[in-house]
Amino acid sequence: MTGKTIGVSVPRLEDLPLVRGAGRFVDDIHLPGAWEAAFVRSTHAHALIKHVDTAAALALPGVYGVFVLADLLPHVATHLLAVGLPSPSYRQIVDRPILAGEEVVYAGEPIAVVIADNRYIAEDAAGLIEVDYEPLPAVSDIRNALDEAAPRTHRNAPHNLVAEMQLAFGDVDAAFASAPRTRSEQFFLHRGGSHSMEGRGLIAYFDKIDGILTTYNSTQTPHAAKRLLCDILRLEDDKVRVITPDLGGGFGPKLVFYQEEAVVCLAAKLLGNPVKWIEDRREHFISSAQERDQRWDVEIAYDHDGLILGVRGLVLHDHGAYTARGVNVPYGSLSALPLAYEVPTYRMGVKLVLTNTVPVAPVRGAGQPQGIFVIERLLDMMADELGLDRAEIRRRNLVPAEQMPRTKPFVTRGGIKVVMDSGDYPASQQQALDRADWDGFHNRQAAARTDGRYVGLGVANYVEGTGRGPYEPVTVRITNAGKVQVSSGAVAMGQSTKTMLAQIVADQLGHDMDNIAVTTGDTAATTLGFGGFNSRQTVLAGSSAHAAAIKMHDKLIKVSSVLLEVAEEDLEIYGNRVRVKGSDAEVSFAAILQAVSGIPGFRLPDNISPGLEFTEQVVIDPMTYASGSAVAEVEVDIDTGHVAVHRIVFAHDCGRVLHPQIVDGQVLGGIMHGLGNALFERMIYDENGQPITTTFADYLLAGADETPNMELIHLSAPTPLNALGIKGVGESGVLPIPAAVISAVENALSPFGVKITQAPISPPELVALIVAARNRQSVTAS
Amino acid sequence: MNITLSINGARIEVDVPPRMTLCDALRQKLQLTGTHIGCEHGVCGACTIIVNGRAVRSCLMLAVQASGATITTVEGLAHGDDLSPLQAAFRRHHALQCGFCTPGMLTTLHALLTEEPYASEERIRDVITGNLCRCTGYIPIVEAALDAREAYQRSRESAPL
């Protein structure tokens, strides 16, 4: 079928196998004779390992291998996963060992692995392994982790500070000194895990004849995994192939390279047999990266009109027990705060704190929702103090459209200037407010209150840096069957990446989606690549696909012009062939390929270069800034603390929309994740560092009955930074939602003067706030 | 232990260890990998299959308990090359993104709509509270189910119970 392929909701390439139950997720791949792995994980948050007795496990029938760190050391170039992104802010280096040696520093840290006939036997054997621990004191709360008296996360470490940095511009102290008004607040924020419905996992096999390690791996970053496997196993980069099959969601933590990936690959190599390991849900809770606590001590200076003069403060950020990615999450928090609004002076410090908990790495939004939450809450409080409408104070502070592109006086973590390239933030807020009936809500709220119902409305804005560079390669080639084969370092993890690439390529090459095949996430298909994170793939891989497809288009036309003896401008591509406009004369892609493949001893037609294959890796260093506004309407049951989110109006600008239905889907899913962050999701550790919430019965994800009415408004200001005008959208939905929902809850409870400085907030916590506020009122009244 | 059961219309005999879960037996012994395992504690619903007409969690059932049962998995929903009306509606409404929870959503809703082809939006929403999806926000799933109701109503009328 041919037709327009960009800007319309074409059927997705991904869907047919997935709805038939014929997808191929990593656990669906059964290699003949494969064995399965189970890990022995620390039951202590912090302990010395005195001894590990593996004899009983090894004696169990069906067990082929048991490995502890000492068994693996002779076979690795390094046993430490040095994965931290570069930063001058580190105060100590705490890389994860592939298995714990003398010391375990979080409950769930892998200590040993069992390889057996199947997972049942492997888990039996793991249960027979006796680990002799000497428990050490643990630290699990960032609020006291930097105290001199606090236990050290690593027993020999000087302290629990892993990194510190600040983001600063302007003379913030002078701004505070002369400010008519200031306000000081403390916020306590938490995000939780990613909880992709598919956990992590991999299957590895080592071909002894070719010396090639192949692994199917549920990872967002196959090229990074390949590099690390090469480094650890001392293999050349043409001897390792990492393939991401269908990915059952990623949402951040699958971009990290984990201990299990190194160990399973090594076990497969040492044992000479395919080995599979599939993370179960409990393991996901205690071993996959999460985002957890941040405490913000923050001050804001402003004038009597509510204009922001400066923001300063200090953030404590839970880093977990090791560096699994770097300082990017708190950097994201710090840099998200001053984006949408005019913040003339700013100094926000952050201390990254080690705790005896699972390492922290990005979860959809990567720290940005927290920074947005803080500035949005401060604006609400300022509005309250000044008697201003909460939307009005935002209107006064939002960066106006006429200033686009607007350079902010700071840089990204990679040192790239922050230039907000496009968008109309005040218009976005206004459209969301109008749709949500912001101005008329007061009457509805008053009417509800006479019925004893507490409804509230909240608003929040966001600006998000998307499309992190530098590039993502795409190769476009024509196959012997005349099909267009597209390969990319990008990874398809649910955001319809294959469809996106096919749409962009089809737009240049015949408009037939059925004639395009897409390979993603295979290191054998592209030499270079980064993968899926930071709302980047449509921006980067999309741009490369566009460029490669244009080159292919031009060559197809050029060769056809020679073959058909017709001027290039008289030719057009239609389906899988090039035809002379307004005539029957045509030549198929397959025939064109044959012509440029050559015949031994004969000239190529018109000396055209051989083959039909183009690889492009369009480099785009500056990030492109997406933006939007959310209005939440909630109802609070003041007796139970239950919050019902009735409605979310979400206005957003992701630039040019390639596929309206997919963009809607990305935003809706992000909003639901944001609702979880506002009201439900909390990874709880006790004071000894024991994880408390390790099932979906204890850790709540938003379900179908929590879905509010959601209304999306699309503003579309194409970015000038890439040829297609695209900005990223995968994370946008989540960013303003905790702020908007909490604002709405506070608004609903305004008769009591409840103030909320945390997210998420649970029903019991909300009831406690209501009770305390009512007690204050009755004291005041008496 | 040898068990005999009917899966997607075929009579199947399979040898399973007594402790093997039904979902593992389907996936590992019978290569029916469409049924996915998301939590193994009965909350996420990804492993839902239809046993004797009822949607059940195959992670909470032992394979030996299914002896003699009639089972439909996601692989049994399509009619040959043609998607079932529910599958087609999922595709139309973009009711799946990564697709991992999709088999459980489809089987849960197929069992519901077969039994209650006039199920209200509220009823549909209530039934899939037992299935977690991290991608879609559930709205397109509910829309797809509503869209597919008519086909279930028609088949109910043509073949009254």
- CB contact under 8 Å between A15 and B99, yes or no, is yes
Q: Which residues of B touch A249 (CB under 8 A)?
A: 97-98, 100, 134-135
Q: How far apart are CA A766 and CA B85, in angstroms?
A: 44
Q: What pLDDT was estimated at residue A84?
A: 77
- CB contact under 8 Å between B32 and A21, yes or no, is yes
Beta bridge partners of A214: A205, A241
Q: What pLDDT was estimated at residue A210?
A: 93
Rounded average pLDDT over A419-428: 96
Smallest Cβ–Cβ distance between B96 and the set A18, A120, A668 belongs to A18
Q: How far apart are CA A662 and CA A220, in angstroms?
A: 19
State the maximum Cα–Cα separation within chain B, in Å, rounded to a whole number: 43
Smallest Cβ–Cβ distance between B129 and the set A493, A703, A710 belongs to A703
Residues of chain B with pLDDT under 50: 161
Helix (H) or strand (E) holding A509: none
Q: How close is the nearest chain B Cα to the Cα of A119, in Å? A: 10
- Domain at B2-76: CATH architecture: Roll (3.10)
Rounded average pLDDT over A171-192: 98
B21 contact A CB<8A = no
Q: Which residues of B touch A496 (CB under 8 A)?
A: 97
- CB contact under 8 Å between B142 and A9, yes or no, is no
Q: Find the angle CA(A618)-CA(A623)-CA(A628) to the nearest 5 degrees.
A: 130
Q: What pLDDT was estimated at residue A23?
A: 96
Say whether pLDDT at A716 is over 70: yes
Q: What pLDDT was estimated at residue A255?
A: 95
The bridge status of strand B70-72 relative to strand B2-7 is parallel
| Helix runs in A272-321, H state only | 281-287
Q: How close is the nearest chain A Cα to the Cα of B157, in Å? A: 26
Window 117-156 of B: residues touching A by CB (8 A cutoff) are: 125-126, 128-129, 131-142
Q: Which residues of B touch A661 (CB under 8 A)?
A: 94
Smallest Cβ–Cβ distance between A22 and the set B34, B40, B91 belongs to B34
B46 contact A CB<8A = yes
> A359 and A321 in contact (C-beta within 8 Å)?
yes
| Per-domain residue ranges of chain B | 2-76, 85-158
Compute, in degrees rounded to 10, the torsion defined by CA atoms A717, A722, A724, A727: -50
Sorting pLDDT into bands at 50, 70 and 90, what band is A86? confident
Find, among B155, B1, B11, B156, the residue nearest to B70 by Cα. B11
| Per-domain residue ranges of chain A | 15-22+469-616
Q: How close is the nearest chain B Cα to the Cα of A488, in Å? A: 18
* Preceding amide of A405 cis, omega within 30: yes
Q: What pLDDT was estimated at residue B157?
A: 82
- CB contact under 8 Å between A19 and B20, yes or no, is no
Q: What pLDDT was estimated at residue A778?
A: 85
Smallest Cβ–Cβ distance between B101 and the set A16, A194, A197 belongs to A197
Q: How close is the nearest chain A Cα to the Cα of B40, in Å? A: 7
Window 50-79 of B: residues touching A by CB (8 A cutoff) are: 73-75, 77-78
Q: Which residues of B touch A707 (CB under 8 A)?
A: 125, 137-139, 142
Interface predicted TM-score (ipTM): 0.97
What would the pLDDT profile of A107-148 be if each residue is shown by its tens digit?
999 999 999 999 999 999 999 999 999 999 999 999 999 999
Q: Which of A9, A15, A19 has the highest number of chain B CBs within 10 A, making it the mutation to test binding with B?
A: A19
The bridge status of strand A417-420 relative to strand A406-411 is antiparallel
B100 contact A CB<8A = yes
Residues 6+ positions from A769 with CB-CB distance below 8 Å: A749, A754, A755, A756, A761
Q: What pLDDT was estimated at residue A147?
A: 97
Sheet strands side by side (includes A516-520): A516-520, A484-488, A474-478, A613-616
Rounded average pLDDT over A729-744: 96
Q: Which residues of A touch B82 (CB under 8 A)?
A: none
Return the CATH fold of B85-158.
Answer: DNA polymerase; domain 1 (1.10.150)
Window 77-96 of B: residues touching A by CB (8 A cutoff) are: 77-78, 83, 87, 90-91, 94, 96
Count how many pairs of residues, chain A against chain B, have C-beta atoms within 8 Å.
164
B47 contact A CB<8A = no
Q: What pLDDT was estimated at residue A709?
A: 97
- CB contact under 8 Å between A710 and B140, yes or no, is no
Smallest Cβ–Cβ distance between B97 and the set A30, A494, A705 belongs to A494
Q: How far apart are CA B106 and CA A236, in angstroms?
A: 45
Rounded average pLDDT over A654-671: 96
Sorting pLDDT into bands at 50, 70 and 90, what band is A602? confident
Q: How far apart are CA B107 and CA A53, in angstroms?
A: 45
Smallest Cβ–Cβ distance between B91 and the set A15, A662, A697 belongs to A15
Smallest Cβ–Cβ distance between A710 and the set B40, B90, B139 belongs to B139
DSSP B28: I
Give DSSP secondary structure letters for A595-664: HHH--TTSPPGGGPPS-SEEEE-----S-EEEEEEEEEEEEE-TTT--EEEEEEEEEEE-BS-S-HHHHH
Q: What is the mean pLDDT of chain A?
A: 96
- CB contact under 8 Å between A669 and B103, yes or no, is no
In CATH, what class is A15-22+469-616? alpha beta
Q: What pLDDT was estimated at residue A2?
A: 59
pTM for this entry: 0.97
